[in-house]
Amino acid sequence: MLNRYPLWKYLLILIVLVVGLIYALPNLFPEDPAVQISSARGGVSLDDSQLQRIRSALDKADIAVERIDTQPNGALVRLEDGGDQLEARQVISGLLNDDYTVALNLAEATPDWLASLGASPMNLGLDLRGGVHFALEVDMDAAIQQRLQVNASAIRSALRDERIRYRDTRIDGRTLTLTFANADDRSQARDIIRGQFPDFQYEDRDAGNGATLAMTLSPQKIQEIQDYAVEQNLTTLRNRVNELGVAEPLVQRQGPNRIVVELPGVQDTAAAKRVIGATANLEFRLAARPDSPASETDTLPFRNDPQRTAELMKDVIITGENVSSASVSFDQNGRPQVNINLDGTGGTLMNRATRSNIGRSMAVVYIDNKTRTRTVMEDGKAVDKRENYTERGIISLATIQSALGNRFRITGLDSPTEAKELALLLRSGSLAAPIYFVAERTIGPSLGKSNIEQGILSVEIGMLLVVAFMLIRYKAFGLIANVALATNLVLLVAALSLLGATLTLPGIAGIVLTLGMAVDANVLIYERIREEIRAKMPVQQAIHAGYERAFTSIFDGNITTLLVAVILFSIGTGPVKGFAVTLSLGILTSMFTAIMVSRAIVNLTIGGKPVKKLWI
């Protein structure tokens, strides 16, 4: 019989619609602006008196609190107005000590029964939620310099072990130069070094006061170092962002040497910039002996007393890269300290260095790569130029009493805040190369809210115009097309939610375009049915022919659009990808609803029945 689906096809359509409705529902429950209170140390929780003080302080500051949810290691304060987040954080931070971390957050408001099914709302992008966008540039030259410094330290150690004397090591650009007393020493050194460092190109140079060996990094090794610097910095920045407690952050590479960081919902941009952009690292060095050659030592100031200096060896025992975990505590005198745990390699190197140097002093050197802008005159015009520089300062200089292992403490810090930030940076990992802010853009929550409202309005207007056109043009069949259109919107939202896609303004544009394109299939089908009726074909056969013969045109038109969307996704950046994702999903859902759902409705209402006239 014409225009009848088998039972299994009706059941399949029903299941898809029910599942789509369930997973689209969480989007009716928007996230609540909130302040997250987390314990900085395990086992520290908030008691009822502290929660009551927090609520009273917020009420006194005229900040409306929806409710406070207690958690195993803290609490989540849900607010009624997102504009109060920053002030609420300041109020709560003033009440709590350094045992707690207070961060801005967005808390899900999805009902428990939906959450138990794994349903959650779509993620909102920066332009809808508000927040901050940073563009950072990785200093590739510094990455190469750091690698050469590590290699120089290893080479000096290897030459000392082989008792080969050298006069000096010097780094110039991408070349490491070693100076020897004569050509024989240079030849022996080259034979030893070449086996351990195959990534260099070696060249003998004659100097007036000796023989030199120039070691230049190969182009392949330079590219490898630069790629590693960007990837390592990506990992480190992701860890730092996670420490900030930001919901749905974006940290991704852009081009050969840039990293983009987007923090939706963040309003305290100064704190985020301080933590993300911090390039601090640690070096552990031995103090110089009285007979140490000047070429192997550095004179560094103390960080809290620049007038005081100490002579340290250039060779580094370990750096912050060997730190596996770090936490803040206080010594017996109430001064802040950072407890350090090293990884296996770091523990071995530390034990080896301290075991043979008991009674000698060891320094903890704090390194911070910074940038400053200077105004210079070029061609008679004032031009701002960025200048990168590095500050090194000794945090502590203590005598080695016994061999150290994987665990020890760093003291000599100025404040608990400094200790907390140093521990955070060490936990999240050190940067492989300095990074510098090249762009910053802030989107306030009010603008994000306005974007959401305007985006929803555009969807509503677009849908109403399409609905009105279909009703006027195709009457009863237009109503069926509109039901399929509403179903398409529900399925599209459900698909975006299930995939965890991030909705942005370009994504909303893709949804609006999908609504307009979704009825194209119905228009093709209905016009084909009209043609068959004009050709005096019976009604049921005309309906059947309309759906069957229009399918090829519908498929061809949609598959070409889908291919374009795939290309946009593969070569486009963030906003273009968002548009491509919604457009691609919209094409798939519209084909399902326009062909299967609308025909199922037609089959259930008039399929197989004697119909003399169609309202189409």
**pLDDT tens digits, 286-314:** 998 888 888 788 899 987 788 889 999 98
CA distance 533 to 605: 19
CA distance 450 to 431: 38
What is the per-residue pLDDT across 393-420, written as a single tens digit (0 to 9) for each?
888 788 888 888 888 777 766 677 667 7
Domains along the chain? 7-26+444-606 (1.20.1640.10), 32-107 (3.30.70.260), 140-221 (3.30.70), 282-412+435-441 (3.30.1360)
Please give the helix or strand (H or E) that residue 207 lies within, else none: strand 200-207
In this structure, what token pair is assigned to residue 374?
């200077």
In this structure, what token pair is assigned to residue 438?
């090249």
Q: Is residue 237 within 8 Å of 251, Cβ to Cβ?
A: yes
When pLDDT is averaged across residues 140-168 and rounded to a whole number, the result is 84
Tokens 């555009």 locate to: 458
Strand, coil or helix: what is 429?
coil
Q: Residue 42 pLDDT > 50, yes or no? A: no
- Burial string for 250-262 (b: 16+ CB within 10 Å, else e) reads bbeeeeebbbbbb
Strand, coil or helix: what is 33?
strand
Q: Residue 265 pLDDT > 80, yes or no? A: no
Q: Is residue 153 within 8 Å of 159, Cβ to Cβ?
A: no
**pTM here?**
0.59
For residue 82, give the nearest of 371, 452, 419, 476 by alpha carbon.
Answer: 452
Q: Give me the pLDDT at residue 15, please.
A: 93
Q: CA separation (Å) from 354 to 348, 398, 406?
A: 10, 12, 12
Please give the helix or strand (H or E) that residue 600 lies within, else none: helix 598-606
Instruction: Tell me the β-bridge partners of 206.
Output: 211
When pLDDT is averaged across residues 163-184 and rounded to a whole number, the result is 85
